Amino acid sequence: MLRIGLNPYGLTYTLGLQGAGTPRANPKPGGLPGFLAIADEIGVRSLELDAGMLASLDGAAVAALRDRLHAGDITPVVSAGLPTAGDAIALARHLGASTVRLGLTPVLCGDRAVLGPAWDQLVADVRRSLASAARLAAQHGVTLAIEDHQDFTHAELIELCETCGPGVGICLDTANPLSVAEEPLAFAQAVAPYLRHVHLKDYLVQWTDEGYRLIRCPVGDGAIPFAALASALRVNDPAVELTASIEIGALAARHIRLLTAAWWQGYAEQPARNLAAALSAARVRRLPEDAEWRTPWELQMDGMALVEYEMSQVRRSAANLHAMGWLPPQK
């Protein structure tokens, strides 16, 4: 069954990952202890651990964390970017994790045009680095789960899986297909045979003259069709052992400017019906065009206002997943 847990990326201010070293830094960052406490509150069955958050831990502390997770029957997943894949694989080995989730590029909002012709070179570099990381991962019995991190289409991710080694699979971010002009359910169905990890994320969508904004919200409150995704992800199938993390979107809204010609630079042609399906999906539960779209971070709030904002969205997400039957009933 889907072993649902949590990752830290929707709690970046609360945990001290965002704003550190600036006047807007959280005065009481939760760090790793705070993250583990939140996970305990929700009642997770897996936990996605950012390699950077664990970088300062010595061997004894990593071993203690491994033992804590094992005692709680919590499956660990290590998360990192491709440039630090080697360190993440070593950390996974010490934690007893069999999956390393990897982000591949710094591109966001599907906007390859910001790189111009350098996009093709970046893809070539990714393919070479991923193949090398896959060989190392195979030596240690670790699977690499490459994410649709607002940069690659489903077909491109599948091609990377099939050319970079048998130990490469996919981490599906359920909301990010909208960032590359793809319909979320069709994307999930296409990558299902390659799934190794899932980010459960949702967005509210607000249309603009250039495209649409994707704005963070609790899982189940936005445009993503989780009821339909349950079948594609085989949520309640006892034969499936798949980890997933609740992930609220970033504190900065993402603007997908797909109504501009420049945005499409670097993309292959696609059938009009596929684009129509994506645009239709982005019309679900949409915000009015004149509604306030900025998050408290973008409104320059800080302190407890941001902590309460992040925590309320994580708690609401867990409650929605319980109501959908994706999480077992709370005790």
Inter-CA distances, 17 with 14, 27, 52, 221, 227, Å: 8, 12, 10, 25, 32
User: What pLDDT is recorded for position 240?
Assistant: 84
pLDDT value at residue 331: 54
Burial of 171 (C-beta count, 10 Å sphere; 0-12/13-18/19+)? buried
- Identify the pLDDT of residue 239: 85
Chain mean pLDDT for the chain: 96
DSSP characters over 98-155: -EEEEE--S--TT-GGGGTTHHHHHHHHHHHHHHHHHHHHHHTT-EEEEE--SS--HH
Token code pair at residue 261: 């010609």
- Per-residue confidence band for 238, with pLDDT thresholds at 50, 70 and 90: confident
Quickly state the pLDDT bin for 329 (edges 50, 70, 90): low
Helix axes 184-191, 226-233, angle to 10 degrees: 10
Please name the residues in contact with 71: beta carbons below 8 A apart, sequence gap of 6 or more: none
**Average pLDDT value for residue range 103-110:** 98
Question: What mean pLDDT comes out for the span 84-88?
Answer: 97
- Look up residue 95 and give its amino acid: L
Q: Where are the domains of the chain?
A: 2-324
pLDDT number for residue 234? 85
Does position 235 have pLDDT exceeding 90, yes or no? no
Rounded CA separation 288/305 (Å): 24
Average pLDDT over residues 77-82: 98
Residue 270 confidence (pLDDT): 93
**pLDDT of 3-56, one tens digit each?**
999 999 999 999 999 999 999 999 999 999 999 999 999 999 999 999 999 999
Task: Classify domain 2-324 at the CATH class level.
Answer: alpha beta
Give the pLDDT score at 289: 97
